[in-house]
Structure 1
Amino acid sequence: MTRILIVTPNWIGDCVAAQPLFMRLATRRPDVVIDTLAPAWVAPALQAMPEIRKVIPNPFGHGAFDPVGRWKLARSLAGQYDEAYVLPNSWKSALIPLFAGIPVRVGFIGEARYGVINRAHRLDKQALPLQVERYAQLAEVPGTALERPLPNPLLRRDATAVAATLTKHGLAAEPKPVVFCPGAEYGPAKRWPERHFAELARRLKAEGNPVWILGSKKDAPVADEIVRLSGGAALNLCGNTSLADAIDLIAHARFVVTNDSGLMHVAAALGTPLVALFGSTSANYTPPLSGRAAVIWLKLPCSPCFKRECPLGHLDCLNKITPEMVEAQARDLLTQGGPR
């Protein structure tokens, strides 16, 4: 038996994008056991992956060093693993596998990690344009090409859990809802305008579709504005649902309309039809990996800029995506089984 510890990224979408690496490790080594060291807030996404045995809480937030705390956690893991895969590129993220004495430590060089990482890969961004490919490359022997094609992420659905979550929040199972995910942790340059979400909510409500808004507590003000502008056509659940709840509700949705966000990747991995809206970021790097996903990306000359806020002040990359465009794309997904 090969025992592997994965040090995961801190973001939900990145963890979902890492699943093809887990799949490849599990396929190539039938006797493998894979555990993850991950922040508590991403644990439900990892727990929905059949390749993962358990999630060990990583208490060290972004930027936190705490060498004593890392040493103590590492020593509690000593002797339990044969290999570690360190997905973040920071130096400190590789310290726990080093302190734990895990003999094989795999990752990209990043931040001068020579010796800390001892099965080191060099990142060729042109050869590996997609984030999912970069994680999966770590399953290969350093210096060899990535084996393609990659499987898409695939999260488990649990009908019993979905029913329990609906009951918990007093939500009707039918008609199935349209789910909006209007948040984007990175910044407002990734968010489709509230007025557009509101107009789409009014259209959907008029056709008899319930509209539920999902996201974190930070997304609640954006969702409140959508509810206000739509005249109450949507239900704001932001901050009232855990990530595990959100996974269940997205699995139950008729379709999802989402910014480029962690929940976009969750919806894709659940196989729920979705329309993903890209503005300041690139669908060539982090697309939703699903045959039931459609991307609307205008590819303006100023996009992608990868800025948190629009440097030109107009946000045309998202303002010019109209509710009519999104509705038409969703209709194509539902009636034809795939995107345009």
Structure 2
Amino acid sequence: MLPRQPQKILVTFLMHLGDLLLTTPFLEVLRRAYPEAQIDYLVDKKLAGVVQENKHVSRVLEIDKKGQDKGVMALYRYAQRLSQENYDLVINLHPNERTSFLTANIKAKCKVGACHFLFRPFYNQVIKLKRQLHAADMYLQVLQQLGITQDLTNQGLQMPVSEAALAVSAQFYQQAGLKVQEKLIGLNIGSAVLTKRWAGERFAQVADSLNAQGYRVVFFGGTMDAELVQDAVSYMHTQPLIATGKFSLQELAAAMQRCSLIITNDSGPMHVAISQNVPIVAMYGPSSPKLYGPYTERALIVRAEPPCLDCAGGMRHKCEKMDCMRNLTVAQVLQAAQEMLRSEDKSEL
């Protein structure tokens, strides 16, 4: 049984960038349920910037899951340190082996949430994630299943940015020669999953077309996307701004605020853009928009016509055909971009 008014709560989640952003509505609702509690959030060290400015979190705890905290013994030692915090309630949001093992070894008054079957005996209450829901709603449903609250209303994905990040972003655009009156469109061409990537040559065509219409274009992405962006730019006839690999996560979010629109593959940075309330056009191939789509009304999803059904039984990480992305045309993306831009222009009147 859950403690009635826990004073110290630990939430654990060690998944990827987009997944972490999809838990931010959960944090908002949890804070509303326990306004006076200390709510700590344990996340992957490299993603701490996603929640470091989140007002619903008391402390962000970092774990270097691919570095010094990798391995069973390192996780066990980390759990022992967390045990010294004497948490009233630990909530684990994902049943992967790493966080299940970690939370199983934390001494706390009550441990609940999703859990790998091997570690269920160490939990006070285990819940099963409702994977038929959109991922953000799936994490929110954890609060209902635990009986914490039935009111799941929220403001969507949230990633507040610091003044320092805004200053870095402003300096980048100033040095790039971007004028105040110029409209900027961002492109995010990377994705951790190869089959989610739309061709760089087609991004180049989109960029050139938008530039011809008077828009400036900026490429975003991390250092791992540098070669993809370099390849795309090699096909262009106009000169874009290149922000790839130049920003921290906080700075990326700040830089995206300047955009009138972001055109993107299904990826973590897509969710960053959504957290900044920037309108997006998102290309979807093997993944399901119903489960992992834009958690916002300010989005248009573009898919190949006719749709490819090869991933109907689940997303493929490898595919020789990739018809779902190859049959998604430049004309479709430009049409969606124009539609979204017109819609945004009307809303500003």
Q: Do both proteins adopt the same fold according to a TM-score greater than 0.5, normalized to the shorter chain?
A: yes
Percent identity between the two aligned chains: 22
Secondary structure, aligned partner of 1:225: helix
Distance of 1:208 and 1:246 partners within structure 2? 24
The 5 A counterparts of 1:164-243 are 164-168=168-172, 170-171=175-176, 172=178, 174=180, 175-186=182-193, 188-243=194-249
What do residues 85-122 of structure 1 show as CA deviations (whole Å, max 9, x unaligned)?
Answer: 21231233133334331222222243332123322112
CA distance in 2 between partners of 1:41 and 1:102 (Å): 26
Number of residue pairs the alignment of both structures matches: 333
Q: Distance in 1 between matches of 2:269 and 2:244?
A: 12
Aligned to 2:158: 154
Aligned with 1:321 (options 302, 316, 328): 328
> Counterpart in 1 of 2:3?
none
State the secondary structure of the residue aligned to 1:252: coil
1:301 aligns with 2:309: yes
1:91–1:309 Cα change, 3 Å: closer
Please say if residues 227 and 235 of structure 1, whose CA atoms lie closer than 8 Å, have aligned partners that are also in contact.
Answer: no
Distance, in Å, in 2 between the alignment partners of 1:123 and 1:167 is 43
Aligned residue for 1:138, secondary structure, equals helix
* Larger CA deviation: 94-103 vs 197-206: 94-103
Conserved 8 A contact 1:162-1:252: no
Note the C-alpha offset of 1:165.
2.2
Distance 1:228 1:139 in 2: 49
Deviation at 1:136, TM superposition (A): 1.4
- Counterpart CA distance in 2 for 1:70 and 1:243 is 25
> Structure 1: where are the runs of 5+ without partners?
none
User: What CA RMSD, in Å, does the superposition of the two structures yield over aligned residues?
Assistant: 2.6
Question: Contact 1:177/1:211 (CA < 8 Å) preserved in 2?
Answer: yes
Gap change, CA 1:77 and 1:173, over 3 Å in 2: farther
Aligned counterpart for 2:297 among listed residues 291, 313, 316 = 291
Higher mean alpha-carbon deviation, 88-97 vs 13-22, is at: 88-97
Whether contact under 8 Å (2:100, 2:116) holds in the other structure is: no
Residue 147 (structure 1) shift: 5.4
Amino acid at match of 1:18: T
**Equivalent-residue separation in structure 1 for 2:66 and 2:292 (angstroms):** 23
1:43 alignment partner in structure 2: 48
* CA separation of 1:323 and 1:251: change in aligned 2, threshold 3 A: same
Segments of 5+ residues of structure 2 without an aligned counterpart are 1-5
- The one-character-per-residue Cα deviations of 1:262-312 (angstroms, maximum 9, x if unpaired) are 0111111211010011001110110111121111123323245511222xx
**Distance (Å, rounded) in 2 between the aligned partners of 1:120 and 1:225:** 47
Q: Is the 8 A contact 2:14 2:42 kept in 1?
A: no
